[in-house]
Structure 1
Amino acid sequence: MKQTEYLVDSEWLSHQQDNPQIVIIDCRFQLANPNWGEEQYHKNHIPGAYYLSLDRDLSSQVQRHGGRHPLPDIEVLAQKFTEMGIVKNETLVVAYDDSRFAFAARLWWLLRYLGHDKVALLDGGWNGWIDRNYPITNAIPEPKSGSFTPQPNPDWLVDIDTVKAAKNNDSVVVVDSRDSDRYTGLREPIDPIAGSITGALNSPWKKVSDESGYLQSLEKQQKLWKNYQEAEEIIVYCGSGVTACVNLLSLELSGFKNTKLYPGGWSDWCSYLV
């Protein structure tokens, strides 16, 4: 049974069901079927868990540029946190999905970006919870009264112009978090153009966990980034600023403090090429 700064396991969480200082959030989602996650949530979820949709809650409306999942309206999201009973920097938020942290890590990053560090991911996610036969329910929790005043960290973000400038700066490393075949342009299932940002290195986000959705050991996390030690700044991107957050989690656990997210990702970058 374990709880670390940014990770908890199912056994630990199963003993916290009546803890008023913990809010659980279900982040299950499928890019190809945006309603699927919420439908699954209404069928069954961890008792007490609220639901946040990647498209509706953790992103804002798609524009011509800015990528497929622009960052959400800060005040709107903060109000949702408040109605879940989250008290900023007091409540521990535990996020889970069933996609190897792909969507829960977006919430993890957003909360920290808004100044709330008390957030952890459920190791093994929904599937790990189910495998251990812990309780599930279809009961939707009532709104609560919290207090969440967002304090965003603008230094954690970069835009397309900053990424373009990075190619002229040897101390800045740009990391593409997508699968290798998307990085090389052999496959592109979502965006209109295949390829990657010139000069970017590839570290696929799926390497952060095993196939069952459990985080790899700290030793393996650090090994992923051993060639990045000299970088003064690491800019991380993916298709639309979602799975890049899994790599940002790994970098954080590995001790890196010089990381930034390019939230528009390849979907923003290639929107200027169409």
Structure 2
Amino acid sequence: MNDRNLIVSAEWLAANTENPQVIIIDCRFSLADPELGQKQYQESHIPGAGYLDLNQDLASAVGDRGGRHPLPNIAELAAKLSAIGINSGETLVVAYDDSRLAFAARLWWLLRYMGHGKVALLDGGFSGWKAAGYPVTSSLPDRPDGKFVPELQRDMAVEFEAVKERKDLPDRVLVDSRESERYAGLREPIDPIAGHIPGAVNYPWQEVTDETGKVRSASEQKQRWTELGKAEEIIVYCGSGVTACVNLLSLEIAGIPDAKLYVGSWSDWCSYQL
């Protein structure tokens, strides 16, 4: 484990797949094909891994407000975490996906939001695991239930009104995590309005990892955020509050804690402009 225990290597995880204090969660998902992740998990996954689905488990139904991936029902998610075998404050959860942490980081953030700090991400994801020659299986895990009791850290998240009120204040920074073309309004494949929240600066989430999904070094993460390090408050958003979590991970690795997630993100902001 490294980078303040936020990232684990495939080598470390391979040595700990049988560790009763470690629970592995597969978070593979495709926005273009929402059933693909579940199918991939059923076909092959890291031995012992459970599965959590972005739409079904890590978000709730879309409403008029709140964006495309509102926070899940916390009681329901806590019950699922318990059923997977996670004990609050005890179990180390290791999450992975195959999308440069796009979905695994959402679980990483949610667990911390629910008061569970013992969570890490698999460097290189599922492809990195396979490339290193480690085994995969289609067998479903059979673990005893845990007891997950959430203790919400409500100051980790902000909603529309808070963003509207704070975005222009001195020493506050609003970070847009989408790719630069979407930030600039040159392309918008999903939401009804193109552009960004006025005053936001652009730090694309893909910069946190290399092309293989390996997390860039702590020194590189620190360098990314040099200009924002002295901000009194950093609020991070993306399209729907999912990939922004990759930037929140980057900030943690860089030693800049306490940044907040605008959960509804651009998709929520848009809903107030229509």
- For the aligned pair, the TM-score class normalised by the smaller chain equals over 0.9
Mapped to 1, the partners of 2:171 and 2:219 lie a distance apart of 25
Following the alignment from structure 1 to structure 2, what is the Cα–Cα distance between the partners of residues 168 and 185? Answer: 20
User: Aligned residue for 1:65?
Assistant: 65
Q: Secondary structure at the match of 2:221?
A: helix
Give the corresponding residue for 2:77: 77
Structure 1 CA distance for aligned equivalents of residues 135 and 168 of structure 2: 53
> Runs ≥4 in structure 1, deviation > 3 angstroms?
1-4
Q: SS of 2:136's equivalent?
A: coil
Name the aligned partner's letter for residue 140 of structure 2: I
How many corresponding residue pairs? 274
Aligned-partner Cα distance in 2 for 1:100–1:30: 12
Residue 147 of structure 1 aligns with which residue? 147
Letter in 2 for 1:23: I
Residue 257 of structure 1: how far off its partner (Å): 2.2
Percent of matched pairs sharing the same residue: 58
Other structure's SS at 2:245 match: helix
1:253 equivalent in alignment to 2:230:
no
Taking the aligned partners of 1:3 and 1:205, their CA distance within structure 2 comes to 18
SS in 2 for 1:93: strand
1:243 matched to 2:252? The reply is no
Name the residue aligned to 1:110: 110
Greater mean deviation of Cα atoms: 3-12 or 86-95: 3-12
RMSD of aligned Cα (Å): 1.2
Q: Which TM-score applies when normalising by structure 2? A: 0.98
Q: Aligned ranges for residues 256-271 of structure 1 at < 5 Å? A: 256-271=256-271
Equivalent residue for 1:39?
39
Residue 194, structure 1, aligned to residue 194, structure 2: yes
Relative to 1, partners in 2 of residues 1:4 and 1:252: Cα closer, same or farther, differing over 3 Å? closer
Task: Please tell me whether the aligned partners of residues 184 and 196 of structure 2 are also in contact (alpha carbons under 8 angstroms).
Answer: yes
| Corresponding residue of 2:132 | 132
Q: Are the aligned partners of 1:3 and 1:12 in contact in 2 as well (CA < 8 Å)?
A: no
User: Residue 112 of structure 1: CA displacement?
Assistant: 0.6
Q: Structure 1 2/169 Cα, relative in aligned 2: closer, same or farther at 3 Å? A: closer
Which amino acid letter does the alignment assign opposite residue 147 of structure 2? S
Deviations along 1:10-61, one digit per CA (max 9) or x if unpaired, are 0111111211111000000011110000000000000010000000000001
* 8 Å Cα contact 2:168/2:199 also seen in 1: no
Unaligned runs of 5+ in 2: none
Q: SS state of the match for residue 158, structure 2?
A: coil
Task: Supply the distance in 2 between the matched residues of 1:218 and 1:134 (Cα, whole angstroms).
Answer: 26
Q: CA deviation at 1:167?
A: 3.1
